[in-house]
Amino acid sequence: MGVFKGEVTALPPDKSISHRAALIGSLSEGVTEITNFSAGFDNQSTLGVLRDAGIGIIQEEVEGAYGFPVRKVIVTSRGLWSFTAPDKPLMCNNSGSTMRMFAGILAAQPFESELVGDSSLMKRPMKRIADPLRRMGADIELSQAGTAPVRIRGVKDISPIDYVLPVPSAQVKSLVAFAALHADGESRILEPVRSRDHTELMLGLETIDSPDGQRTIVIPGRKTIPARPFHVPSDPSAACFLVALALLGSGSEIIIRDVCLNPTRVGFIPVLKGAGAHITIENSRIIGGECIGDILVRSTPGLNPLVISDRTVVAGVIDELPMLSVLSAFASGEFELHHAEELRTKESDRINAIVVNLERLGFDCEQYPDGFRVIGRRRRPSGRVTAECFDDHRIAMSFAVAARATGEAIELSQSDVVGVSFPNFFAIIDSLTV
């Protein structure tokens, strides 16, 4: 069993907030300074497409903890229509957030553009972005299968929209909001199941909550967005891997500093505490509209099995489900998940990816269209097992944590893929290993 102790001060900056800070900067009038911007490949893809569409981007690197760079990004724009027609397809690599959220902006620009990605992104569903943008008047073309390439013939006089989100997706909500900022009139987005709310917070949008948990977001059209600075807090989705490492390790204690504790992002904390995990939050405070604080976690032998079956809870832990399921399987031998069909549309089909690997590791699993179950029986493999990563950073990191914490002979089919969101993942784990 691994023993992990120490303080983490160099967690990656939050991926969702980094994307939005750059995109909102590109829509703002003036110079947007973003401190602690993520060096992860996905966020670098957002900077790349903005540059290719004519936005001024300067990135400076200074050395941070463990020798990993911390970045400052300066975005210069003249407001909502500062983009120029790109002379080549815009390459989003592995980043679904880049492709989907930038599509909302491009739909309101008076030129043609095309968004493409790596082999994983080219398989992910894009009809969910084409539907609202077509209703707003943009011409969107997808492949026969409803995937990228996304070809956009944008319109400057894009129409306002009243839109009910058909899937709980912060990316879809954000792309509709970004398009609606250009419309001549007010738009409203109704969110039946709450998803992360960084876009609303960062743009200062009005929100109306109803008693049944639904939220309406109001987007005024054609209002100048003055440039303002953003500071990106540490990524709670990255913190979750270290939390699991300490919980599963023996005699471990880790404190992770300055993590974004936005309630729409840290659903994994109440889920784990409900199973008996020793986690406490310290030093919480509000900075730039986001709650930030430190997460203290101690090893918890005898963690109860996790059962996740509520749609709102699922939406609040959607990126943490790979780690939570692998943790629960190793800690308690059991896990159960329902209403998580969205998990099949991520960087890989994560339900399948987790089940394939847990089965290789001897767990008995049952798969459903919207989830899976690990059934408390295990035939431990005798030799070394390779975890198949399916080009998916969160699958790789979930099984890497299991390997380091339990000491079992698990190797990864790919390790570089962690750089999509957590370039210093292995360095931080090494630094915590006693």
Contact positions vs ligand S3P (CB under 6 A): 16, 19, 97, 169-171, 174, 196, 318-319, 342
Peptide bond preceding 149 in cis form (omega within 30 of 0): yes
Supply the minimum distance, in Å, between the C-beta of residue 181 and ligand S3P: 16
Where residue 283 falls (left for φ over 0; alpha for ψ -120 to 50; beta otherwise) is left
Structure tokens at 33: 């300074």
The residue to which tokens 């319109």 are assigned = 155
**Euclidean distance between CA atoms 288 and 232, whole angstroms:** 9
Question: 194 vs 257, which CB is nearer to ligand S3P?
Answer: 194
Question: 42 vs 388, which CB is nearer to ligand S3P?
Answer: 42
Supply the minimum distance, in Å, between the C-beta of residue 23 and ligand S3P: 10
**Euclidean distance between CA atoms 242 and 416, whole angstroms:** 18
Supply the minimum distance, in Å, between the C-beta of residue 14 and ligand S3P: 9
Supply the minimum distance, in Å, between the C-beta of residue 39 and ligand S3P: 17
Which residues are catalytically annotated?
319
Distances (CA, A) of 390 to 1, 20, 135, 346, 412: 27, 27, 35, 11, 10
Question: 118 vs 408, which CB is nearer to ligand S3P?
Answer: 118
Distances (CA, A) of 85 to 126, 333, 429: 22, 54, 43
Question: 8 vs 202, which CB is nearer to ligand S3P?
Answer: 202
Query: Do residues 422 and 68 make contact, with C-beta atoms less than 8 angstroms apart?
Result: no
Structure tokens at 239: 């913190």
Structure tokens at 278: 């020793």
Q: How far is CA 55 from the centre of its chain?
A: 24
**Residues in contact with 48: Cβ distance below 8 Å, sequence separation at least 6, in sequence order:** 90, 91
Supply the minimum distance, in Å, between the C-beta of residue 427 and ligand S3P: 22
Question: 196 vs 404, which CB is nearer to ligand S3P?
Answer: 196
